Every structure is written in structure tokens, then in C-alpha cells.
Amino acid sequence: MTEGALGKTYSSGELIVRQGDEGNCMYVVQAGELEVVREEHDGNVRVALMNAGDIFGEMSIFERELRSATVRALGEARVLSVDKKTFLRRIQEDPPLAFNLVKIMSHRIRRLTEDLATLKAKTSPPAPRANGQERRSGRDRRHGGGRRSGVDRRASAAGRGRNA
């Protein structure tokens, strides 16, 4: 690892953070590629690859929890660390930065929810539907499915008028 004016350069295989360590800052990938690995009882599981512009470790800015994964360089990589004090100062200077971080975290939560649902679908029996009904093909009524178009409604009303 070498320090430059902005960020640190890590060599291939070098750890940036280790799962289980205390965290007090987040990171921004400036160049190169990183691997995010979760250490499980039956081995390591790669959970993500990161490239320039990606961030990680942001949970430590908000929580005092241990690192949830190990991050290592795949080839040479430059990474900038941002501590909580610097982060909060930057948020005051540039409020949209907070929105962008929430957007990134929201995207990750959505992706993790989809991944979890996929895993559960592979390992669990299907959950029963409300009222014992199977979902209709297409979209449900909350999202416009099952709704008739204005033309269909008018044609139906005209048909009722003739038969009345």
C-alpha cells in the first residue's frame, strides 16, 4: 500500500477492510477493481465486485458495528477513505451528496431483497396467496392490471344501455 495526495494505492490481493474489524470510515474506489467477500462457515462467498466510483463501508458512518465483509484489491487499486467528520462536513457543503448516498443504499437494499427472494424461492415451498387465490396473469389492480380501458368501459356501458 502506498499513500498519495488523495487516497491509497493497494496492490493485488491486499486487504482494504477485513470482516469483523471495527470500522470508522467509508471508502470511495478511485481506480481499479475490488472484490467484496463474505466469510461464512463453509468458505468465502463473493458478494460483489466494485470499480471506480463505487463506495463501500458506509454503514460504519451510521452504525458502530463490525465490518460485515472483507474487501480486497484485484490488481492495483486506488481507494480514498472518508471518516465520519469529513463526511458530515461534505454533506453540509453539498446536501445532494446525502441524497445520492441514500439512493445508492436503497438500490443495494432492493438488490439484496431480490437476491433473498430468489434464494428463498429455490429452498422454500411457495407461500399461500391471500384469500387462497392465485395471482392473475399480468399485473394486479394496484398497478393497473385488470383495469379496463376507457374504450372498453364506454363500449360496455353502451351495450348495457341497449339491453336495458
The CATH class of 2-122 is mainly beta
- Only one residue has cell 463473493, namely 46
22 DSSP assignment: B
Which range, of 2-6, 42-46, 146-150, averages the lowest pLDDT? 146-150
For residues 105 and 58, the answer to whether their CB atoms sit within 8 Å is yes
Q: Cell triple for residue 144? A: 393497473
Higher per-residue pLDDT: 116 or 147: 116
CA dist 48 and 15 (Å) reads: 15
**Nearest by Cα to 59 from 116, 29, 119, 101:** 101
Q: Delimit the domains of the chain by residue range.
A: 2-122
Instruction: Examine the pLDDT at 158 and tell me if it is beyond 80.
Output: no
Report pLDDT for 164.
46
**With a threshold of 0.85, does the pTM exceed it?**
no
For the chain, percent of residues with pLDDT exceeding 90: 43
Mind listing the pLDDT tens digit for each residue in 71-115?
Answer: 999 999 999 999 999 999 988 999 888 888 889 888 888 988 888
pLDDT, mean over the chain: 81
Dihedral angle sign, alpha carbons of residues 95, 97, 102, 103: positive
How much of the chain, in percent, has pLDDT values that exceed 70?
Answer: 75
Select the highest-mean-pLDDT range: 35-39, 105-109, 134-138, 157-161: 35-39
Return all residues near 72 (Cβ < 8 A) that are at least 6 apart: 10, 13, 14, 15, 16, 34, 35, 37
